[in-house]
Amino acid sequence: MSKKNILPQDVNNLLKDISQPDFSYRVYDNRNPVEWHNWPLLEKAADYIAWKHKQNVNI
């Protein structure tokens, strides 16, 4: 794993240029998309949402 990958997302946010006028205010950018895949309930929920989206069910 490269050094960049093990850097926490929060630190990455700090390194962004916050002086930009269009800088996103979101600070909750610490998502780790890997971790929730370990939980079957969340996997099923994600599949269901994807299915609804595909079926064009109004979500």
Partner 1 sequence: MLVLFHSFKGGVGVSTVAANIALSLARFHQKVAIADLTRQQSLNFHIGIQEEDIPFLSSDNIEELYNASKEFEEDGGIVIADIGTEIAHHTIPEENILNISIISPNAGCMALFPEAFDKKHYYIINNENERYNFSRAASQFVQDMVQDNLIGIIRQDEAVNEALGKLQPLNLYQPESAALKDFNHCAHQLLRMIGINTSLHVGEVADAS
Interface residues toward partner 1, by CB under 8 A: 25-28, 31-33, 35-36, 38-39, 41-42, 45-46, 48-49, 52, 59
Q: Cα(first)–Cα(last) distance of the chain, in Å? A: 37
Q: How far is the CB of 21 from partner 1 (least distance, A)?
A: 12
CA–CA gap between residue 55 and residue 59 (Å, rounded): 10
Closest of 52, 48, 28 to residue 40, by C-alpha = 48
Question: Closer CB to partner 1, residue 16 or residue 36?
Answer: 36
Q: How far is the CB of 29 from partner 1 (least distance, A)?
A: 9
